[in-house]
Amino acid sequence: MTLLVTGGAGFIGSCFVRDWLAQSDEPVVNLDKLTYAGNLANLAGLAADARHVFVQGDIGDPTLLAGLLSQHQPRAVVNFAAESHVDRSIHGADDFIQTNVVGTFRLLEAVRAYWGSLQGDARQHFRLLHVSTDEVYGSLSASDAAFAETNRYEPNSPYAATKAASDHLVRAWHHTHGLPVLTTNCSNNYGPYHFPEKLIPLVIHHALAGKPLPIYGDGQQVRDWLYVGDHCSAIRAVLAGGRLGETYNIGGWNEKANLEVVHTLCRLLDAMQPRSDGQSYATQITFVTDRPGHDRRYAIDARKIEQELGWRPAETFETGLAKTVRWYLDNAQWVQDVTSGAYRDWVGQQYGNPP
């Protein structure tokens, strides 16, 4: 019994791999292209673990996919591989289309051929779980109900549009070809090993470096925050018991405005690592021009996964954020390596195949 995990060197994927191997002896074949956000240092603790097989490669490579599936005979594929940064998608959408749309199509076709070759219980129990985002649903007003699995897709950024397209492809391959799929749509993740381009790790990094803490617009954009470890436990629950062809929304029940999140981070940093001048990190907050098409509010209605699979997040926003800040304070070298690009050199030293 083996899992094939794609995008397993990224933020959420690496958390899933680490947690999986901490709780199970089932091996993981980890396929990751190692773009800027894919980082083998996220998996350093598994370097000597025979249960973890890392392969550098692209989900858009059909020959590679066919070979991995044939060689390792996984009983499930969990697809984290994606370009995921909205700002980057605004400035250049091509990588998002290639990975999130074309790559998902190539993965579906390779998995369909592999699944079609299986017999008996192996065919019956095989699953492809596709990890997606709440951003496919568009934006909510302050008074709108949270996103449910039945909400209409209304993506507003190039990133969200490519993830919506990937979701539609997964659905179509299920309904047309019978491929046994599951889809999850999560809210904003946070936690350890998060590449410092997203709000929470960016604020921590900039605060400690004495840089401005940039806030888009008025800072009142609302997001539902989900601790990454809770997200991974939800994916395990869906993989184990989700109904074929179904979508499960995964949220943290933590709606917070961006400005509130930043002020909370500043208070935690003030307590854990005070500035040498005695002032609050909040004095570094700076408001900048809002980004184009910035969605005002996301919120997830996660009742379906709770009612069907018994899952609820274990962390509150306060406990999860405190763990996150503490991790970044205790792992300054990881942050330095990521922001300097030194982790790419580590890849070459470790595997002899630098990207």
pLDDT in tens, 185-220: 999 999 999 988 789 999 999 999 999 999 999 999
Average pLDDT over residues 62-84: 97
Query: How much is the CA Rg of the chain, to the nearest whole Å?
Result: 20
Phi/psi-derived region of residue 168, left when phi > 0, alpha when psi is between -120 and 50, beta in every other case: alpha
Q: What are the structural domains of the chain?
A: 3-351 (3.40.50.720)
pLDDT at residue 160 in the model:
95
Average pLDDT over residues 225-248: 98
Asked whether the beta carbons of 262 and 285 are under 8 A apart, the reply is yes
Asked whether the beta carbons of 31 and 6 are under 8 A apart, the reply is yes
What is the distance between the alpha carbons of residues 55 and 86, in angstroms, rounded to a whole number? 27
Phi/psi-derived region of residue 210, left when phi > 0, alpha when psi is between -120 and 50, beta in every other case: left
Q: How many CB atoms are located within 10 Å of the residue 75 CB?
A: 16
pTM: 0.93
Neighbouring-strand partners of residue 297 = 222
Q: Residue 111's closest CA among 29, 176, 58, 173?
A: 173
Q: Which residues are catalytic?
A: 134-135, 159
What mean pLDDT, rounded, does the chain reach? 93
255-257 and 222-227 strand pairing: antiparallel
pLDDT tens digit string along 285-313? 999 888 887 889 999 999 999 999 999 99
Asked whether the beta carbons of 32 and 9 are under 8 A apart, the reply is yes
pLDDT at residue 342 in the model:
64
CA angle (290, 154, 16) in 5-degree steps: 85
Tokens of 131: 């990890």
Tokens of 220: 């009142």
Q: In the predicted model, is pLDDT for residue 38 greater than 90?
A: no
Average pLDDT over residues 239-253: 98
